[in-house]
Structure 1
Amino acid sequence: MDFLQLAKERYSVRKFSNKKVEQEKINLILEAGKLAPTAVNYQPQRILVIESDDSLNKLKECTKYHFNAPLAMLICYDNTISWKRSYDNKEMGEVDASIVATQMMLEITNLNLGTTWVGHFDPQKIIEAFSLPENIIPVGLFPIGYPDENSVPHQLHEKRFEISETVIYNSFKK
């Protein structure tokens, strides 16, 4: 599929069928994340695959935005290996994890699956529920599955600002 067409067709799925996601598709989603660029190629991303009934139930205790998906992935980064800018020590792990997550999200759509980026969760509850070490920082949660037959994009999905409203061209004149 053409990339822009894929980007246009992706929407935030919040209603899933109960059909399990095949391991081959899980592997492809993880591969898309693996291929994502990261600062200095440090690859600090750490992905927690949440698929057992027990783990999915733990997730439900951490956020109401699980949408009863049959699979979820928690995109995190390891702050002990992520790159920090030398002049201000700015942490780039969250940026790296977001790039990884975006590539995974697009692959999910490419595989005719759906997801939505969930940022509304209590990180401390997630860390405790899944026994994450303190250096693993959660960034985004993806409930993943086959969209329910009644799943549709949000009514504002296609509303986009004109490029002229979001892009600034800067021409330096001497």
Structure 2
Amino acid sequence: MDFLELAKARYSCKKFSDKTVETAKLEQVLEAGRLAPTAKNNQPQHIYVLETKDSLEIADKITPCRYNAPTVLAIAYDTGNVFEYPGGKYNSGAEDAAIVATHIVLAAKAVGLDTCWVNYFDPDKAHELLKLPDNEAVTIFIDIGYADADAKPLPPHDSRKPLSETVTYR
């Protein structure tokens, strides 16, 4: 499948089967995240793989959006290892985590897995329940697994604005 077909095929799965994610596939997906570009190649990301009964129960306390996924990735970044933008108002931490997460969701689809990007959670609660180090901030959760047989994209999935509304040439 070429890249555009892959990008079109990937959707936010809201219903996962009970099938376990194979270690080899998960490692491929995590490797894709490791290879993602980050500002100044600082690689501030830290990915927590939640797949035990206890860790999935913690995920369920953090967000209602697990959708029965057998594996959840909590993507955090080291707040002390980020690129500071000129002017001091912004840093690259959240965007670096988002780039890593994007590589992960696309790599997952490429190996036959489905995902859901989850940002519906309280970051402070996630930090506390996951017992993260003080210097880490969790920004994204990714549910990962195999879609249930009757899972399908939500209706707005295929609705996209035309390029003319989202791109300006200057």
Q: For 2:100, give the aligned amino acid.
A: V
Match of 2:73 in 1: 73
Match of 2:20 in 1: 20
Q: CA deviation at 1:60?
A: 0.7
Q: CA deviation at 1:89?
A: 5.1
Match of 1:90 in 2: 90
Q: CA deviation at 1:87?
A: 3.4
Q: Which has the higher helix share?
A: 2
Q: For 2:12, give the aligned amino acid.
A: S
Separation of aligned partners in 1, 2:74 and 2:94: 13
Deviations 1:110-152 (A, max 9, x none): 1111111100011122111111012111111011110000010
Q: How much identity, in percent, do the aligned residues show?
A: 44
- Structure 1: which 4+ aligned runs deviate by more than 4 Å? none
Stretches of structure 1 that go unaligned for 5 or more consecutive residues are none
After TM superposition, the structure 1 = structure 2 runs for residues 4-153 of structure 1, keeping only pairs within 5 Å, are 4-88=4-88, 90-153=90-153
Q: For 1:55, give the aligned amino acid.
A: S
Q: CA RMSD in A?
A: 1.0
How many residues were matched structurally? Answer: 170
Q: For 2:71, give the aligned amino acid.
A: L
After TM superposition, the structure 1 = structure 2 runs for residues 147-162 of structure 1, keeping only pairs within 5 Å, are 147-162=147-162
Separation of aligned partners in 2, 1:151 and 1:78: 35
Larger Rg over CA atoms: 1
Q: CA deviation at 1:86?
A: 3.8
Q: For 2:136, give the aligned amino acid.
A: I
